[in-house]
A and B are shown apart, each in its own frame.
Chain A
Amino acid sequence: GENVEQHPSTLSVQEGDSAVIKCTYSDSASNYFPWYKQELGKRPQLIIDIRSNVGEKKDQRIAVTLNKTAKHFSLHITETQPEDSAVYFCAAGYYGNNRLAFGKGNQVVVIP
């Protein structure tokens, strides 16, 4: 089955700086890659996703890039704010069964 690795496990950044989280996946058949943000005690929230026919997608301060050849995808958060502090999960899946494999999560801490 699909195996998703996520690095680093913890990331501390100064407010206003950029944060980058990288994930790698093992199954070349995967073609859907969402990112979820989970604040303490709350549900994971979908913040951005990308499909394999696209190399990059941007939504305001958040962007995701995908390298199918290397089988990795990254989340980029620019101009970080304290409210960006949370755990971020990447996931990989493919059309046909909607099933997602999740990475272990990254704790992002934005220091005011």
Chain B
Amino acid sequence: GAVVSQHPSWVICKSGTSVKIECRSLDFQATTMFWYRQFPKQSLMLMATSNEGSKATYEQGVEKDKFLINHASLTLSTLTVTSAHPEDSSFYICSASPEWAYEQYFGPGTRLTVT
């Protein structure tokens, strides 16, 4: 149980375009979902906390107009990287917390490359 999926697993886009990444909890309802960014051989950097039906809470230094987060249902959150630039290239991972537990379960991640 507690499976989280992410789509796509990798994406290459051109500079200036937008990319949407989906995060789904497959076998549980997630009150809260989180979006992280991970650079090679580095830790997980929390970008934002997403609660179903409300606006996301962004961490300091994360541009909310660039990284649009929508948590439309208890099983789906999306991250849209708008006007992507090469410096946005990274590994983006989501996680979800079940309503009945405190643990966070991670998706497999999305490798974004902006050319």
Q: Give the B-binding residues of A (Cβ under 8 A).
A: 32, 34, 36, 42-46, 49, 89, 95, 97-105
Contacts and interface: CB of A to CB of B under 8 A. Distances in A.
B104 A43 contact: no
B104 A34 contact: yes
Nearest to B44: A102
B106 A105 contact: no
B49 A97 contact: yes
Contact of B103 (A46, A99, A102, A103): A46
A18 B43 CA distance: 24
19 contacts: A32-B102, A34-B103, A34-B104, A36-B106, A43-B93, A43-B109, A44-B44, A49-B103, A95-B102, A97-B49, A98-B32, A98-B97, A98-B104, A99-B34, A100-B46, A103-B43, A104-B42, A104-B43, A105-B42
Contacts of B46: 99-102
Q: Give the contact-size bracket for chain B.
A: 10 to 19
A102 B59 CA distance: 14
Interface of B: 32, 34, 42-44, 46, 49, 93, 97, 102-109
Contact of B43 (A45, A49, A89): A89
A36 B106 CA distance: 10
Given A44-B44, A105-B43, A99 B106 contact: no
Contacts of A44: 44, 93, 106
Nearest to B101: A98
Contacts of A102: 43-44, 46
